[in-house]
Structure 1
Amino acid sequence: MSNIITWAMCATTIGIWCPENDPIVQLPNGKIRGVNHGNYLSFESIPYAEPPIGKNRFEAPKPYSGKWLGIRDATKPSVTCIQWDEFYDKKDLTHGVEDCLLINVYTPSLSSEKPYNVLINIHGGAFMYGNAIEDKIDLLMKNRQLVIVKMNYRLGVMGFLSTADEVITGNFGLKDQRLALEWTKANIAAFNGNPEKMTVIGESAGSTAVHFQMLNKRFENLATSAISFSGTALSDWGIDGHAAEKAVAVAKYLNCPTDSSSSIKKCLQSKDAADIVRTSKEFQKNNIVPYSPSILFSPVVEPKTAQNAFITEKPETIIRNGKSAEIPWLASVMRDEGAIPCAEYMKKDSNGVEIIEQLNERWTELAPINFCLNNVVEDSELPAYTNKLKQQYMGDKRFNAENYFLFQKFCTDVIIENGVKKAWALHKKYTKSPVYGYMYDNPPPSGIGNLLANRSDINFGTAHDSDTSLIFNSESGIAAFPENQQKMSSHFVEMIENFCLTGTLQFGSCKFVENSSKTKGFLAMHITNDSCQSVNADQLP
């Protein structure tokens, strides 16, 4: 009751000191000062792990142990983890810093009567790029119902390099995320958040990361529900099948000895971080599309003898053996996921011919690497496998502008949709908790496909990020979206809020079906501009 009285006095009395106007939070490490944005308070750049530098490079993260005197400034956005970023508008695509393991917290108030449920967002970016501040939270904070948490984690070669043994175990980015979740569980009450009601969400690689977190039983103690927007650990790019080869290649590029994993690690720990990250470009040479493949380093299955191992079995095996976390999970797919990255093949070369035509001569060479098919079958089987897929999607047709959407359907299925549908089926069969799904099928007037292709004469459909762009990409409210997208934005935001607050899932007036081992088939919501209905997953477009 005293909190209510204080809040009322703050709102009506001139001259009284109000904690909301100069928000200060006490943490075990010391006090931090945030910023009042009007309808929410922000506390940014809070360290949750020891800097992953020097001897801590290529090691599991250690909880931050530092103390500070006085009040630490938490008013500035967090730095970006060092990365090779294909969307960075500079000649050198490397930017960011290595000491970056920071967490951001946004709360409606420090003095409400009841604590707020918590929404934790893991950013996307192909495990290669991105940062905690890029997903805007204004729409989700509008109704002042949730505490929101976002974290940085190590990316690319710094976060996912592995020698496929106990020396450089890999999965450091996933281990960072887990430590950030543990930090949130331990500290969120100080921000008026409820540590017993936490929902974890992510998009793209962040979506896949959420699913990876679910593959560990410990996740049950950290989250009460989860949402994966477009991506699962069962995607072909979910597990890197050539990690050790890449580690050796990185070492060679930097003139490090490669006689043992220990030699590689010791040498790389002495190198400049930016030089290590710049080796990414060496894996993208001799390609027809710039910065492809875009996913160079990703999670691995670690040896059972590895210390602090994140996963030691394949994702499918973990699910089938009932070892994944038992919490309600929503996983989604866009109808035209493959527009990213495949719209880029519709760029025109200097002769005015679409780049896609070059696939006619180089398909068996480029497809295994660019679409991670080399993670699926042995190298000796790749030519037959890639040609089988070509026949399945293209038939006897050529790769060209006229047949582009046949190619995009291949990209949609192989990159995202097949993995999502497989995850739906496996979790429904082998877990006891509810599984939900939807396909979003509502093309915006233009999207990231147009940006990648550098052309406006094609509608690439409901591409990757079409739903989450309506949730996270606005600082000026729903009115910033095209009119036919505003209703969708409202429904998505309400869907997330209700899932966090009540555990129920609904899009507009449509209630999601709760799939379990007792339900027949898998029923997913098919969402279009003017309808939403549950259909069998096999009947989705």
Structure 2
Amino acid sequence: MSANVSILLFLIIVIDYVVSTTILDQQGRPVAITPLGSVEGEWRTSFDGRRYAAFEGIPYAKPPIGDLRFAEPQPIEPWIDTWNATRIYKCPQIDNGQVIGEEDCLYLNVYVPETKQSKLLDVVVHIHGGAYAAGYSVEYIGDKYVMDRDLILVAFNYRLAALGFLSLEDVELPGSNGLRDQTLALKWVQDNIGSFNGNPGSVTLTGFSAGAASVHLHYLSSYSRGLFHR
């Protein structure tokens, strides 16, 4: 009987761990297994001393280069090897008179606090500002402060300036691809955030400056319906 009780307690502990967190700790680094493939980030410490996983540079779309330069974003295809999600990307833009960033820039970041809660965490998706011509995913966010709360933070890049919003009002170049990038990122959240212990049914959309304007546009757009809840 004692052995049976011990086994039962062990199973309860294991099940509790699996339910409470989907972030694995492999060789001192956080790993999440998504429908697209596994991603490896890094552990960080929040302002109040809480450990959290930072996954930076997860692709949500195919690189918008070549024939896809002015095309609608295409969903990223699954990968085989573990993706090294420890890099911040920036889309092309002008900063102090210099061109920075790269066209292969449709990546997002996911920040997950360490928790033993059995319930899925609420998700906050932030859209950066910059007059649709500058900025990048986590500019002005401060993830180490946000991670003191029981929520998951997602921030992403979208194409800027001519690469994201040039329009000839025809089929070849209809325009607003920067907003289409945002919509695809929101779809990624719905399909993958559960792998990070996030609740796809509780997504709050926030933004700063042009990002705040984007929130209004998504609220009005039928293409964004069901992709966020507040």
- Aligned partners of 2:127 and 2:185: how far apart in 1? 10
- Work out which of the residue numbers 74, 85, 89 in structure 2 matches 1:74: 85
2:72 counterpart (39, 42, 60): 60
Q: Note the alpha carbon deviations across 1:31-59, whole angstroms, 9 max, x for none.
A: 11111113211111000000100100111
Which structure has the bigger radius of gyration?
1
Distance 1:112 1:36, change over 3 A: farther
Q: How does 1:136-285 map to 2 (within 5 A)?
A: 136-143=142-149, 145-225=150-230
Deviation at 1:79, TM superposition (A): 1.3
5+ residue gaps, structure 1, are: 8-16, 226-541
Q: What's 2:30 paired with?
A: 23
Encode CA deviations 1:445-482: one digit per residue, 9 max, x unaligned.
xxxxxxxxxxxxxxxxxxxxxxxxxxxxxxxxxxxxxx
The 2-side partners of 1:99 and 1:93 are apart by 18
Work out the CA distance in 2 between the residues paired with 1:5 and 1:47: 31
Question: Who is 1:97 aligned against?
Answer: 102
* Code of the aligned partner of 1:33: E
User: CA contact under 8 A between 1:20 and 1:110: conserved in structure 2?
Assistant: no
1:93 and 1:113 map into 2 onto residues whose CA distance is 48
Aligned-partner SS, 1:124: coil
**Which structure ranks higher in relative contact order (CA pairs < 8 Å, sequence separation ≥ 6)?**
2
Which amino acid counterpart does residue 147 of structure 2 have in structure 1? Answer: M
The residue matched to 1:23 in structure 2 has which SS? strand
For 2:206 and 2:173, the matched residues in 1 are separated by 28
Task: Give TM-score scaled by structure 2 length.
Answer: 0.84
| Unmatched 5+ stretches in structure 2 | 1-11, 19-23
In the alignment, the residues of structure 1 paired with residue 188 and residue 89 of structure 2 have an alpha-carbon distance, to the nearest angstrom, of: 19
Do 1:20 and 1:36's aligned partners in 2 also have CA atoms closer than 8 Å? no
Distance 1:125 1:209 in 2: 11
Partners of 1:110 and 1:192 within 8 A in 2: no
Structure with the bigger percentage of strand = 2
Aligned to 2:59: 47
**How many residue pairs end up in the alignment?**
208
Secondary structure, aligned partner of 1:37: strand
Q: CA deviation at 1:63?
A: 0.1
Identity of aligned residues (%): 38
Are 1:128 and 2:133 an aligned pair? Answer: yes
2: distance between equivalents of 1:97 and 1:209? 22
CA contact (8 A) 2:16 2:118 kept: no
Separation in 1, partners of 2:190, 2:130: 25
1:95-134 CA distance string (max 9 Å, x none): 1100000010001137531110000000000000000121
Q: 1-side partners of 2:199 and 2:69: how far apart?
A: 33
Shift of 1:139: 2.2
CA distance in 2, matches of 1:220, 1:164: 24
Aligned 8 A contact 1:3 1:112 in 2: no
Q: Distance in 2 between matches of 1:181 and 1:95?
A: 25
Change (3 A) 1:111 1:102: farther
Distance 1:79 1:55, change over 3 A: same
Structure 1 pair 49–111 and aligned structure 2 pair: CA distance change class (3 A): farther
Amino acid at match of 2:55: F
Closer/same/farther in 2, CA of residues 159 and 195 from structure 1, 3 Å limit: same
Give secondary structure in 2 for the equivalent of 1:178: helix
Verify the 8 A CA contact 2:109 2:154 in the aligned structure 1: yes
Contact kept, 8 Å, 1:119 with 1:148, in 2: the verdict is: yes
Deviations 1:146-195 (A, max 9, x none): 10000000000110000122221000100000000000010000000000
Compute the RMSD of aligned alpha carbons.
2.1
Paired amino acid for 1:32:
V
1:340-359 equivalent positions in 2, closer than 5 A: none
CA contact (8 A) 1:110 1:191 kept: no
